[in-house]
Every structure is written in structure tokens, then in C-alpha cells.
Amino acid sequence: MTEKKHRHHEHRASAHPAPDGPAAPPPVEPAEAMRRLEAAEVADAKDKYLRLAAEFDNFKKRVTRERTEGWARAQADLLARLVDGLDDLARFAHVDPAQTDAKTIHDGVDMVERKIWKQLETLGVTRLDQTGVPFDPHVHEAVTMQPAAQASQDHTVAAVLQPGYKLGDTLIRPARVIVLTWQGEGPPATDDRPRAEPLTADG
């Protein structure tokens, strides 16, 4: 081959170099790229949702378990406060009345009541058994009514048939009471007191 032909062959070879490695992929259309991006975002959002749902389910289970355990501990604490009084009450309940005078039994039961109430008051329990106080439908249940001797007694508690109880600000049981009503001439001493509705035959 002559020098001229050799240079011509090299020029053509440099103008069309041999491919080096695999061929480049064809360009992706914009619509296809957008579709792939949206699919990836949906998959990512779904994965995050499933993770959050699993975490929330675990959170609910943990809260339920902690609440149950807390309630069990509170019940155990209450029982621990009352067992001594219950033991004393059991001892007095099984004494031989033929060998124990009534005063001893009375004093023993009174001691047990005071011991139990000391623990209940520590927990925030209060007894609703006051007479002469204004009727309060939030803590009283009117069983029946009686006429009041004077206007100042209108809608006050005459007697407590069954005491009520509160734990802090929570009403456990309303007090069942007899309520006085003024039936004489002239208005009652205070007109803005809550009114007790008498029980009907259905109530």
C-alpha cells in the first residue's frame, strides 16, 4: 500500500470509529418519564402510609396495654389500703356474741369504719350525707318531698335516705334525699335555687 493510500485509510477509520462498549439506550419520552416518576412517588407514599399505619397500630396497642396495667395497679393499691380494715371487720363479724358484749362489738365496728374511711379520704373520696343544705340536682336525687316549716327551708335537704359519694370531682353515686318545699304564703327565701322534681309512679 502506498503512503497516500495508507493516509486515506487512516482518515476514513478516524471518521468512523468502532463502537466502544454497549450502545446507549434510546432517549426516554417526557410522558414516559413523568409516568415513571409518578409511579415511584405513589410507591413511596404507599410505603410511608403502611409504615405509619403499623406504627399507629403499635401505639394503640401500647396505650391499651399501659391503661390496662395502670388500672390493675390502681385496683391493687386500693385493695392494699383496705385489707387491714377488712381483716378487722372479719374478726368482729365472727366473734361469739355469747362471750362478747354489744359495746365491744360496736366499738370494734366503729374502729374499722374509721380505719377504712381514713384510707378512702386519702384517695379523695367524700361522703354526701349532709342535711339542711340546698338541694343540688348534681349530687342529690330527690326521692320525695315534705312541706317546709318556713320559707327559708324551701328546697333544702330534710333527710338523707342513702348517702352519696364523690371521688374528687367525679360523682360516684348521688345521695337519695327528702326535700323540703315551702307551701305557705309569700315567695320562698331564694327563688333561684334548683328545684327538685317529685318522683312519679314510673320513677
> In whole angstroms, how far apart are CA 10 and each of 4, 29, 107?
10, 38, 126
Q: How far apart are the first and last CA of the chain?
A: 126
Residue boundaries of the structural domains of the chain: 32-123, 126-203
Give the residue from 113, 152, 110 showing the smallest Cα distance to 134: 152
CATH superfamily, domain at 126-203: Head domain of nucleotide exchange factor GrpE (2.30.22.10)
Exposed e or buried b per residue across 52-77, where buried means at least 16 C-beta atoms within 10 angstroms of its C-beta: eeeeeeeeeeeeeeeeeeeeeeeeee
**This prediction's pTM:** 0.59
Tens place of pLDDT for every residue, the chain, 203 residues? 555 555 555 555 555 555 555 565 666 577 777 787 788 888 888 889 999 999 999 999 999 999 999 999 988 998 898 999 999 988 888 888 888 888 988 898 999 999 999 999 999 999 999 999 999 999 999 999 999 999 999 999 999 999 999 999 999 999 999 999 998 765 554 545 555 554 443 44
Phi, psi of 193 (to 5 degrees): -75, 150
Contact 144, 199 (CB under 8 A): yes
